[in-house]
Amino acid sequence: MLNTVKNNDFSAALASSKAFVDFNATWCGPCRMVAPIVDELADEYDDKVDFYAVDVDDNPKIAADFGVSSIPTLVLLENGTEKGRIVGFRPKDALKEFIDNN
């Protein structure tokens, strides 16, 4: 399940043992391309990884805290610590490899 972050409340993602965070915006073409892939991965990794979507326009503090300057930015967290980051669109296989190897 994909969780939508609202009101700059990122506490659930930081408390998660493993979290995949999609920093995006509604006006961003590559973000719209990666969104369905992230949804599929959220279903496939449902019991292993928590998935979060962060609209950078609605949650500017979180984006600033993570130094997000380009979107989509995909961040993998483990117990609140960043383990990996991808900037830009990637196909599903690349995202699966990113999750599995971090």
Active-site residue set: 28, 31
C-alpha closest to that of 66 among 85, 49, 50, 79: 85
Distance CA 16, CA 77 (A): 8
Distance CA 23, CA 20 (A): 10
Distance CA 26, CA 82 (A): 24
